Structures are given as structure tokens and as C-alpha cells.
A and B are shown apart, each in its own frame.
Chain A
């Protein structure tokens, strides 16, 4: 069934001319990813899971190596290993280990094991930087379809569980007393994170996935007055970062993935100036 869907989407997406342009494809891919990283990034920030995202993303490199070793699709390998990593971290933290210790051990170990493992595969070895920093300009129409499906599923999952996720994030005791199951909502986020890592690996690479989660959501926090507004603004900041980053990359011939994150960081700084500017303008306009 998945093959059928893939075929249909490939047929649809390959027809229009605009998809022929690699920059357009890359921009659409990044925009699709932002649809998931926007709302998910908000939860990563609210729940202080920034390094959790890092650990999951680092595990993806190990997933690449394992997928090649057993001859499976790379995205499946990264999905499975990222999921295993996220579940392990969540389980260890629930057992009372300090989170930063758990992540310090697992995150860096996963990266190191992954780098050692991929060294057995000359094809990956020669192209290591594209796994670490992404290769968004190499995105094909098939990849584009997968990114939109994966990101769309994550966005739909978060939208479906939105009220429960917010309540659980606010207080697990309150959620429990309202008849929700906090453990299930945590699992929703863990699964969403693993899917995003698998989808984003090709675009921004293992080292910068967490940046795509955190920076647009943090930029949105400057301006948002409610959780929904923050999620929507985070998607907007994500899309804008991808667009500006790719233009920067074209103009200055800089690596695309890092350029996107540079743009995101620039937007964060700009967004931080806005509340101060508004505060200056408002009293002035009242006087006038």
C-alpha cells in the first residue's frame, strides 16, 4: 500500500515544472519539515527536552550504519534507532537518573558509535558531512513526498492530542486527575520526535536537527500570547528560515543546512527586538 501511495505521489509531484528546480524542491522540503518541527519544537521547549532532541538525532547516524549493514532503507533504520534511543532516554529518566547525565552518556555515545559504525561503509564514509549537516539540495521528488507525509503525520498527531499534551506538559498530576494518561502523552511526543529525526536527517543532518526544533519555536516565544499562536508562529519562522537560508546558500555558495540554521538564528535575534520596539512605539502613539 505504501508503494502505491508513493507511486501516486511521485506521479503527481513529478508533473509540474516547478518541482524540477532543486532550490524550489529544497524550499518545499524545508517548509514541509517546518510543519512538524514548529509545534513539536514548542513542546521540546516547554518540557525542557532540548537535549533529548539532540540525543535522538545523534542516534540517527547509528541508524544509517545499521540500515546499510542489514540492507534496509536508510529512513527506516534511522526511524527505528531514533525511536529506540528516545524510549531508552525516557525510561532511564523515569528511573530517577538525572536527565543531563543520561543524555550526556547516551547522546555522545550514540554519535560516537554511529561514526565508528559508518566507517565500515566506504560510500557513507566519503559522504559523512551530508549525514552530519544534511544535503537539502539533493532532495528528490520521492524524498519530498516522504517528508510531507512524515511531517504531516506528526503535525496531525500533535493536533489530535493537543489538549491532552498541553495539560500533561503543564502538570502531570493535573492531567492524571482529569483522567488523562501522562505516560501515553509522553509516548506521543517520543514517537513524533523519532519520525521528525528520520525525516529531517537528509535535510539538515544529525547535528542540526535539534536546532530546527528549538530556534523557530524560541523565536515564536518572543511574540506569542498563547500556545496555539506560538505553534503557528514557529511554523512560520521555520519556513522563513528555510527560504532565507537557501537564498543565502545560493548567493554566497555556503553549505545549505548550516545556512538555514544561520537564518533561523538571525530571525531569533530580530524577533527578540520586536517586543522592545512595540513597547517604544506604543507610549509614543498614545501621546500623539
Chain B
């Protein structure tokens, strides 16, 4: 974490009730970089983002933001109450009103040209994600924070969405911090990947992370990766050279061990 970081966390811990969900997380986001937080379900990815946004209280540690930092946030999903009539155009003016010209430009940028008159409740999943992104872009963000932005999109839609994120970065120079539980598309689009499972297991460039034993422990390998993702159990051993074990034990009621170092099941 350099002094020029847009956002940095130092040793943060989050508790829900008595359970520690996140333990000793330190990370920083530099201007213009795309950082992806990767982890299985229940690894605390969304919790980490919400903590970084200042929504959740920290039980330990601290978060520093660059002075006057403008953040554009795209939540995992947005449920629109059917009782609230709200057009896409009106949505873009929340909370700060924007001119019609700026709204039209933002809609064009995300591929929703001329859709401003649609009701929010009538948008498809993909349109909703694009609408949320358009709204986030209108605040001229220095940092975009996206929480599983492609949830509910099919694979071509997903690839298109990540291309859009890269275009945005190229066009505006905004840094991007996003969360995902899926690997391949995300890995390609990221400068840096952080592997999370309650603590930071490993981090680095996509190439470094994909060969790290901690990463394999979480996600398995090769064609087996997608399957291992869903089979993953929380208990795993760290035995690689880049061991960043945070010093808390991994005891869980059910005792499943992955035996890494065995030949991959191809």
C-alpha cells in the first residue's frame, strides 16, 4: 500500500455476533488498477466490500480513503419495490440530479441507449446491472466498487460486462475493485487478484495467483476448477512457499481435508 492509494485497509476484522467473518485483512487499491477479490460462497467477499464502503462497523483495524474520494458502487443486486414507480432516467438522478445530456451519454456508454423511459421494475437482470453501472459512472468515480456484477448473466453477457468495465477504466482512468466467485473471465480482466476465505489467502497478478497453492486449495485446477468451486469446504491446508497464514486456526465442525499435492483429478 503506497501513500497514493485511493483506498486502503489495515488489519481489519469484522464480527457478526460472536463469529469473526473477516480476519486481519490489509489491502490497498492504487489509481487506475483493476483488483478482483475472489473467493467461494461465504468467504466474506461482500462483507469486505461493505466494510470498505463504510457500511459495516469494524471490530478491529482501520480504513483510509484518499481525501474527497469519489466512489461509484454497483451492488450485487437491487430489488425495486413494485409500489415505487421509477423510470431508468429518474433512477440515474439519484441522489444527485444529472442533465438529460449526461444521462443519455451514460446510458449509451453501457449500451442502454434510448431506454431511459423504461420502468426500473421492468428491466431484465442484464439491463439492471448496466443501469446500476451507468448510475455509478455518473458520479465521475475515481474508484468503482462492484459486488458480483455479473450475477444472473449468461456467459456471453458476463464477458461483455467485463469488457465494458475495461473500457470504462481505459476511458476514465477509474480504479476498479470487484468481487467475484468465478474465475476465468475475471482473471483475464484483472491486474491483481486477491484470494479471500475469511482472511487473505494469497494475492498477486492473475498468473502468480493461479499457480499459488492457496489458490489451488480454494479452487482446484484446470477443467476441474468450476466443479471444485462448488465442492469447496472451508478447511484447507496451506503448505506452499507463499504461505500467508494469518495465525487463526481453521477448525470446523465437519472435518474435510483437501489433499493438495495429489495429482489433479483430470
Contacts and interface: CB of A to CB of B under 8 A. Distances in A.
A29 B84 CA distance: 28
B97 interface: yes
A126 interface: no
Given A170-B94, A177-B71, A46 B84 contact: yes
Nearest to A170: B94
B81 interface: yes
Given A173-B55, A177-B71, A164 B84 contact: no
Interface string B71-102: 11101001011011111001101111100000
Interface in A58-79: none
Nearest to B84: A46
Contact of B86 (A45, A177, A227): A227
Contact of A229 (B72, B85, B139): B85
A271 interface: no
* Chain A contact residues, majority secondary structure: helix
Interface in B50-88: 50, 53-55, 71-73, 75, 78, 80-81, 83-87
Contact of A226 (B53, B87, B97): B87
B83 A46 contact: yes
A177 B95 contact: no
Contacts of A13: none
Interface residues of A, number: 26
A164 B96 CA distance: 9
B55 A176 contact: yes
Contacts of A164: 95
Q: How large is the interface on B (under 10, 10 to 19, 20 to 34, 35 or more residues)?
A: 20 to 34
B174 interface: no
Contacts of A46: 81, 83-84
Given A173-B73, A173-B75, A174-B75, A180 B95 contact: yes
Q: Among the interface residues B53, B73, B94, B97, which one has the most CB atoms of the partner chain A within 10 A? A: B94
A6 B71 CA distance: 48
Report which residue of A45, A167, A177, A226 has the largest number of chain B beta carbons within 10 angstroms of its beta carbon.
Answer: A177
B75 A171 contact: yes
B145 interface: yes
B89 to A, nearest CB: 9
B95 A225 contact: no
Contacts of A48: 81
A225 B78 contact: no
Contacts of B90: 226-227
Contact of A178 (B50, B87, B95): B95
Nearest to A217: B83
Contacts of A166: 94-95
A173 B73 CA distance: 9
Nearest to A48: B81
Contacts of B73: 173-174, 177-178
Contacts of B84: 46, 169-170, 227, 230
B50 A173 contact: yes
A56 to B, nearest CB: 20
A171 B72 CA distance: 14
Interface string A168-204: 0111111111101000000000000000000000000
A175 B71 CA distance: 12
A95 to B, nearest CB: 12
Given A171-B75, A227-B90, A177 B145 contact: yes
18 contacts: A45-B83, A46-B81, A46-B84, A167-B94, A169-B84, A170-B78, A170-B84, A170-B91, A172-B55, A173-B53, A175-B95, A177-B72, A177-B145, A178-B96, A221-B83, A221-B85, A225-B87, A230-B84
Ranked nearest first, the 4 interchain pairs of A and B with the lowest CB-CB distance are A177-B73, A167-B95, A167-B94, A46-B84
